[in-house]
C-alpha cells in the first residue's frame, strides 16, 4: 500500500523548491532534504514526501520497487509524529541494498530528528 495521495510530493516545482531551499541531512543509507511549509491556511496542509531511487541503487526495477515499498511503510509509521507541515524528499544511496526494514526505520527516524522534522 502506498502513501495516501495527500501525503505525496508529485510536482517537479515542489521537488526543485525543496532542493534549493531545504535543509540537507545525510546518513549511511539516505539523504533527507526537508523544507517547512509556512502558511496561514486553516487547516494546515499535509506533510508531503517524495522518494528518489535512481538506477545507481540497483539496475533491477524489482529491487528499486522493494526499497520504495519499505520506505513508504517506514514513512507511514513516522507521519503521525510530524507536528507541522513539511515538504520532504528522501534520496536513497546505493548502500541501502544491504539494509533491512528495521534499519530503514531507525535511520529515517534519526535523520528526521537531526533535520528538526520530529522531536526526539
Q: Would you say residue 50 has pLDDT above 80?
A: yes
Within 10 Å of residue 23's Cβ, how many Cβ atoms?
Answer: 16
Give the pLDDT score at 38: 82
Q: Would you say residue 65 has pLDDT above 80?
A: yes
Question: Whose CA is closest to 91, among 114, 111, 117, 73?
Answer: 111
Q: Would you say residue 43 has pLDDT above 80?
A: no
pTM: 0.90
**pLDDT tens digits for range 82-94:** 988 999 999 999 9
Give the pLDDT score at 63: 92
Q: How many helices (H) and strands (E) does the chain have?
A: 3, 4
| Topology adopted by domain 5-115 | Ribosomal Protein S5; domain 2 (3.30.230)
Q: Would you say residue 1 has pLDDT above 70?
A: no
Give the pLDDT score at 41: 64
Q: Would you say residue 39 has pLDDT above 80?
A: no
Question: Whose CA is closest to 1, among 79, 89, 104, 72?
Answer: 72
Amino acid at each position: 500500500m502506498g502513501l495516501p495521495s495527500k501525503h505525496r510530493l508529485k510536482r517537479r516545482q515542489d521537488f526543485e523548491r525543496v532542493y534549493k531551499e531545504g535543509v540537507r541531512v545525510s546518513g549511511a543509507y539516505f539523504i533527507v532534504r526537508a523544507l517547512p511549509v509556512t502558511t496561514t491556511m486553516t487547516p494546515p496542509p499535509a506533510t508531503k514526501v517524495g522518494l528518489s531511487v535512481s538506477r545507481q541503487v540497483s539496475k533491477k526495477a524489482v529491487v528499486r520497487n522493494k526499497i520504495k515499498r519499505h520506505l513508504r511503510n517506514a514513512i507511514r509509521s513516522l507521519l503521525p509524529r510530524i507536528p507541522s507541515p513539511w515538504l520532504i524528499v528522501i534520496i536513497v544511496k546505493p548502500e541501502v541494498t544491504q539494509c533491512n526494514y528495521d534499519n530503514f526505520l531507525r535511520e529515517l527516524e534519526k535523520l528526521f530528528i537531526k533535520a528538526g522534522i520530529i522531536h526526539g
